[in-house]
Chain A
């Protein structure tokens, strides 16, 4: 079992002041390097001696990675922009309130002051078996301790589990998917821009990572196009306590409604699988339908198709169904007719 220790283990600390320098260091040290953004995920791993990097590259000194900028088609947010800055930014609040809502519900005010958007989307799984240092699949081993009859899996996956049942804990990720954001990466082969939903990967692709970043890669910024600016947004996060907690489930949606009908919509949930799930089938099914409770019910049922509960997380299925329903039909409908 892991024991949190006060003293940092020894490693070489690098604090580059530019993206180019950071890239050089990351390429030079490859898999030996640990990239640190706000440090909130990193410090647990390092102090617990579960992850033992030889080199730590601290990105906090790179000004290029910070701030929110208006672009010709939306905004660009530096990966090292803190969640508090994202929440308080007028552009974000005015046009992309969905992201502001998601970011504001992450963790606690102190953590949001330190935690970054890049860190929030790139953070590792919270499965305690994994974080305790047990040799599970995600840690390179050959078992999932959570997916056993006695495993504590109340917070774990109901969809797309593949050996590992850990979930992605990010609150900003589903909002960024719903806003059709693009993630800008610097890789040894050059700049790469990926859709938000493709930044995240499940265990069937790589069981040891929640995202596509390889050693040497760096997430530099997140671009949000104007296509969904000013849409009708909905973000809801369900957690065990109302502050400083990871989501059991969250939902984010952006919807354009015309004459009561849904013109177009993007919706994503997180906490249900190892990656935030864009609900494409739901988006297609609700197009042209009235934005009401009946459509929401239909969408909710569609969203949980294929869900497989573990021993202690069956509650997530009706929870997800209801969150999707509320994202579409609103929260005024108190009953579930099924």
Chain B
């Protein structure tokens, strides 16, 4: 049982044609196992989160009741991307597990929507948001090491509170970038093999081997996204993560949750009464990241 399906081209070349479809089930089961293990761990074994230091009452008093987290633009992008992603996954994999329908047209339309929305996100995130807020920094890595040591029962100081995004979020974002961009780039090329409104069909764009690898990469990215999206939805529904999920709907999170989980020095929040001139230099302010 191989992970890839192979065929012999008319020129006698052994070429991959796509992934073996049992990988759909492997991804779904892997995602499900992760959820079960994580849920059991949180329910029975996890200790209460501990962070280093505490926020001063003066600072807390200056934080608005609703801390803005995601701008309307960012939220619209997220939900458009989510709709496109679900459409892509369902149209790609339901026919493979026996639910038959006219899926190709819906698939490339959803893929086109996703591609445009991702392009928008790249530009938006690069030039209009705090680009680096989603990438791991040295404090994340230091705190990750601390958390691992504490998890293993070894002595280590408690980690700092998170910046705007916890390290797990950042790593997840990296995985989504890898899988999503792989699926999108290969998917755009694969649109040359079907009739779309965008460009003339050209099955000779690449050789059989390159096309085969493209289908394989598209398939691997697709099944990877099954597991990744399952994990994402799971965390979005977990009780302790709901404030973050709600912020993706309403745009803000509560002051309590912000102070409990996030470090105002790493994720400064713009307050209505504050400005760089009256901040007394005690805390960096004025950076409202809408990512």
Contact = CB atoms under 8 A, between A and B. Distances in A.
A134 B195 CA distance: 22
A143 interface: yes
Contacts of A204: 102-105
Contacts of A143: 193, 203, 208, 211
A148 B205 CA distance: 11
A148 B5 contact: no
B9 A135 contact: yes
B279 interface: no
A205 B203 contact: no
Interface in A189-212: 201, 204-206
Contacts of A147: 201, 203
A147 B100 CA distance: 23
A134 B17 contact: no
B267 interface: no
B7 interface: yes
B204 A142 contact: no
Contacts of B35: none
B164 interface: no
Contact of B17 (A135, A148, A206): A135
A240 to B, nearest CB: 25
Interface string A114-157: 00000000000000000000110001111111011100000000
A163 interface: yes
Contacts of B212: 142
A144 B102 contact: no
Contacts of B18: 142
Contact of A148 (B195, B203, B208): B203
Contacts of A140: 5, 7, 17
Contacts of B102: 162, 204-205
A162 B104 contact: yes
Interface of chain B, helix or strand or loop or mixed?
Answer: mixed
Interface string B1-38: 00001011110000101100000000000000000000
A201 B194 CA distance: 19
Interface in B189-240: 193-195, 201, 203-204, 208, 211-212, 215
A163 B9 CA distance: 18
B127 interface: no
A61 B193 CA distance: 45
A71 to B, nearest CB: 31
Contacts of A1: 10
A145 B102 CA distance: 22
A148 B204 contact: yes
A141 B104 contact: no
B100 A142 contact: no
B101 interface: yes
A205 B101 contact: yes
Q: Which of A135, A140, A147 has the most CB of B within 10 A?
A: A135
Nearest to B204: A148
B256 to A, nearest CB: 53
Identify the interface centre among B15, B102, B215: most chain A CB within 10 Å of its CB: B102
A44 B194 CA distance: 30
A142 B17 CA distance: 6
Nearest to B218: A142
Interface in B121-164: none
Contacts of A135: 7-9, 15, 17
Contacts of B7: 135, 139-141
5 contacts: A134-B9, A135-B8, A142-B17, A163-B194, A205-B102
Interface of A: 1, 134-135, 139-145, 147-149, 161-163, 201, 204-206, 308
Interface of B: 5, 7-10, 15, 17-18, 95, 100-105, 193-195, 201, 203-204, 208, 211-212, 215
| Closest 10 A/B residue pairs (Cβ) | A135-B7, A204-B102, A141-B17, A205-B100, A142-B215, A142-B17, A134-B10, A141-B7, A206-B100, A148-B203
